[in-house]
């Protein structure tokens, strides 16, 4: 490989959306089909992984809350290594790379190595899950702000502005909130949130096995207890129509 060819190494951070291929952008699709190396997270949908050219090197860099994971330094090293060797690298992350995606750490490693990069945004899970339950994430007269929060951070269960969240009408999209559901429930009730605050859990959003669990704050911990797939907690939102009585219109698959 010549030095000129080597200089062409670059990294595209691609947001894959929450799972369904329908949520992949055209830009993401183009970047994927042109990739020589794809380093992807565990949560990226199988239909999307099928778009990776067979000639490309495909690497899973697993990351799962509290579960087994590839250390961030090893992921950074892989990205820098392949791009430094002149490859077109796609770093494929679920949802949008800029939301709980450790994007900055990887960008910093590339900047340090002088490797060019760009970001292709993706549809974040909160948007897909809200669509599933027929709700909007902001609404005039209800909530003028949407909070995007995580259930846990590097220190364990994540502390939030509980007092602010406990106010009537607040809406939050809680990522990685399954293990911390009881903690979140306790904190919010301690700060005065109504036990009847609607809470909807969407498991496997946008995938074939998507599941909606309508709950309230007081039943949140029980609602997530049996879930095994990735799940997002939409705090302050109930499904617009009771799923059992009036199922939301599913897109016809021709």
Q: Does 86 bind ligand SAH (CB under 6 A)?
A: no
The Cα–Cα gap between 76 and 60 comes to 13
| 178 tagged catalytic | no
Window 139-168: contact mask with ligand SAH (x via CB under 6 A):
------------------------------
Q: Least separation, in Å, of the C-beta of 219 and ligand SAH?
A: 19
Phi and psi dihedrals of 218, rounded to 5? Answer: -70, -20
Q: Does 125 bind ligand SAH (CB under 6 A)?
A: yes
Q: Does 239 bind ligand SAH (CB under 6 A)?
A: no
Q: What are the residues facing 150 on neighbouring strands?
A: 175
Applying CB under 6 A, which of residues 31, 61, 100, 236 lies at the interface with ligand SAH? 100
| 63 tagged catalytic | yes
Applying CB under 6 A, which of residues 87, 96, 135, 197 lies at the interface with ligand SAH? 96
Structure tokens at 137: 């994430």
Q: Which stretch binds ligand SAH (CB under 6 A): 84-92, 95-103, 134-142, 245-253?
A: 95-103
Strand positions, DSSP E, the chain = 10-15, 37-40, 57-60, 88-93, 117-120, 146-150, 152-153, 156-157, 171-175, 198-203, 211-216, 231-235
Question: Is residue 197 packed enough to be buried (19+ CB in 10 Å), middle (13-18) or exposed (0-12)?
Answer: buried
Radius of gyration of the chain, Cα coordinates, nearest whole angstrom: 20
Q: What letter would DSSP give residue 238? A: -
Q: By CB under 6 A, what part of segment 194-213 binds ligand SAH?
A: 202-207
Residues carrying an active site annotation: 41, 63
Site for ligand SAH, rule CB under 6 A: 18-19, 43, 65, 93-96, 99-101, 124-125, 175-176, 202-207, 230-232
């Amino acid at each position: 490989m010549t030095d000129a060819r080597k200089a062409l190494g670059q990294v595209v951070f691609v947001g894959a959306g929450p799972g369904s291929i329908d949520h992949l952008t055209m830009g993401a699709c183009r970047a994927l089909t042109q990739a020589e190396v794809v380093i992807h997270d565990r949560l990226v949908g199988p239909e999307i992984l099928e778009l990776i050219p067979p000639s490309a090197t495909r690497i899973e860099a697993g990351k799962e809350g509290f579960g087994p994971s590839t250390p961030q330094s090893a992921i950074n090293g892989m990205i820098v290594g392949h791009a430094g060797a002149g490859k077109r690298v796609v770093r494929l992350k679920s949802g949008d790379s800029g939301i709980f995606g450790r994007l900055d750490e990887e960008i910093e490693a590339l900047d340090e190595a002088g490797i060019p990069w760009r970001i292709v945004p993706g549809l974040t899970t909160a948007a897909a899950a809200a669509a599933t339950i027929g709700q909007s994430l902001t609404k005039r007269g209800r909530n003028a702000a949407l909070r995007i929060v995580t259930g846990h951070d590097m220190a364990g269960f994540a502390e939030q502005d509980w007092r602010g969240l406990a106010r009537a009408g607040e809406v939050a999209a809680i990522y990685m909130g399954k293990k911390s559901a009881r903690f979140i429930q306790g904190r919010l009730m301690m700060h005065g949130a109504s036990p009847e605050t609607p809470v909807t859990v969407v498991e496997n959003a946008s995938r074939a096995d998507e599941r909606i669990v309508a709950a309230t704050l007081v039943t949140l911990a029980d609602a997530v207890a049996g879930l095994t797939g990735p799940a997002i907690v939409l705090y302050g939102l109930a499904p617009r129509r009771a799923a059992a009585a009036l199922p939301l219109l599913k897109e016809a698959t021709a």
